[in-house]
Structure 1
Amino acid sequence: MSNLGCGCPGSMARVIEREEKETGTPANAPSQLRQWPVQLHLVPPSAPYFQNAEILISADCVAFALGSFHQDLLRGKALAIACPKLDETDAYVEKMALIFRTNEVKSITVAIMEVPCCRGLDIMVRKALDLSGKEIPLETVIVGVNGERRN
């Protein structure tokens, strides 16, 4: 295994070997995505899909690592994705606080990878929630690099 040079253990190259097995789910399972755009930089805080919504704020890699992302996490939720390591995140806390403050949000789920750099997204969401002045139920889901839920 080799590190890609940026020092983060999450950037270490790994091969994930799996035993091929039938999952019992159709290969053409329908997407649970209910809106566009999805990137946090692009979503408008006043978008109608945030009103009376359960919101999923997910690290970009989660949807690729967790095979059941659509069924287990995305179904019925408004989505915003971000990468706390690679994105320019300076405006994220204020933008999320504005989303939480100006909409009736039922709940927030934060989905992150187990790697240390991903924890930054959870921290940003918590700061935004504090800044919004609202009390909204918050859950954090952590996904391992092998694709399993850690909690």
Structure 2
Amino acid sequence: MISKRKMITIDEELCNGCGECVPACEEGALAIVDGKAKLVKEIYCDGLGACLGDCPTGALKVEVREAEDFDPNAVAEHLKAQGRSVPDHMPSPESLRINEQAPGGPRPMGGCPGSAVQSLSPCGQANIPTQNTGGASALTHWPVQLRLVPPTAPFLKGADLLLTADCVPVAMPSYHSEFLNGRVVVMGCPKFDNQMEYVEKLAAILSESKLNSITVMEMEVPCCASMSAILAEAVKRSGKQVDTNRVTVSRTGQVIADVKLQF
């Protein structure tokens, strides 16, 4: 089936044929042909861009265009024929298509004015710890929803990232003073939003931003625990290791667990 979705594109002028992108693509969609990186088949490429951070020249980009649907079964056969391991999790073709009929326009593309990147900290500097007294906001940037934050946002560079499930700040009165202060926050709901979009976005952030640390905050309810699983898959795809802690919050706003994660 042909549909509009994200695909890897290769600038042959920039490609030096180093081959770093080939093992970075777990689906085996890339190969070196005549000294240049090539897309083997559209059906092997999930378009999530895990290979982007491994290209030293910036020859790889993700574009939205008409292409054959990603085919997990074909990928599995392709990898087995090469003697490579098959990834534990691969997205469904449906999850990768761009919905042109979605309210407000195509997704994940869009032009909501509320998604414009802004710094809210003094003197235009983001990610700088400040005193937070009297219930003042510690938010240093906009937007905060993970789906709206571009991986190249300046406030992400070298940041201490606070990956937060949507319900945490509602349950936790001290969220700003104890956790947000000095960190950059991105938020989302792992139950109701597209988890593969989250994986893609976080993998791109990890590849682009050289994060200093990550704190992932989840509620104690089972559906919330997948936020750290999403992050684990993003780390795997990006190949970037970052010091990470998981904080679990009770319905009454208490921290009931704070553990270091190893991916």
Name the TM-score class by shorter chain: 0.7 to 0.9
The answer on whether the counterparts of 2:190 and 2:227 sit within 8 Å (CA) in structure 1 is yes
Which of 68, 83, 86 is the matching residue for 2:174? 68
Confirm or deny that 1:103 pairs with 2:215: no
What are the Cα deviations for residues 68-95 of structure 1, in whole angstroms up to 9, with x where unaligned? 1001111111110000112233311011
Considering fraction of residues, name the structure with more strand.
Answer: 2
Which segment drifts farther, 37-46 or 83-92?
83-92
In 2, Cα distance between the equivalents of 1:72 and 1:133? 30
Q: Secondary structure at the match of 2:256?
A: coil
Classify the secondary structure of the residue corresponding to 2:216: strand
Q: Aligned partners of 2:171 and 2:240: how far apart in 1?
A: 31
> What CA deviation, in whole Å up to 9, does each residue of 1:15-69 have, x standing for no partner?
xxxxxxxxxx96x421010110000110011000100100000000000111110
Q: Which amino acid aligns with 2:215?
A: T
2:235 equivalent among 124, 129, 136: 129
Where 1:147 maps in the other structure, the secondary structure is coil
Q: Which has the larger radius of gyration?
A: 2
The aligned amino acid for 1:61 is: C
Structure 1, unaligned runs of 5 or more: 1-24
| Number of corresponding residues | 126
Residue 251 (structure 2) aligns with: 145
Q: Distance in 2 between matches of 1:33 and 1:129?
A: 25
1:49 and 2:147 are equivalent in the alignment: no
| Cα distance in 2 for residues equivalent to 1:32 and 1:80 | 13
Distance 1:61 1:87 in 2: 13
CA distance in 2, matches of 1:126, 1:33: 26
TM-score (norm 1): 0.80
What's the CA shift string for 1:84-126, capped at 9, x where partnerless? Answer: 1122333110110110111110000000000000011110011
Secondary structure in structure 2 of the residue aligned to 1:101 = helix
Paired with 1:88 and 1:64, the residues of 2 have a C-alpha distance of: 22
Tell me the C-alpha RMSD between the 2 structures. 1.4
User: What is the aligned-residue identity percentage?
Assistant: 40
Match of 1:38 in 2: 144
1:115 aligns with 2:221: yes
Partner of 1:91: helix, strand, or coil? helix
Partners in 2 of 1:65 and 1:46 — Cα distance? Answer: 30
Is the Cα–Cα contact under 8 Å of residues 195 and 230 in structure 2 kept in the other structure? no
- The structure 1 segments of at least 4 consecutive aligned residues displaced by more than 2 Å after TM superposition are none
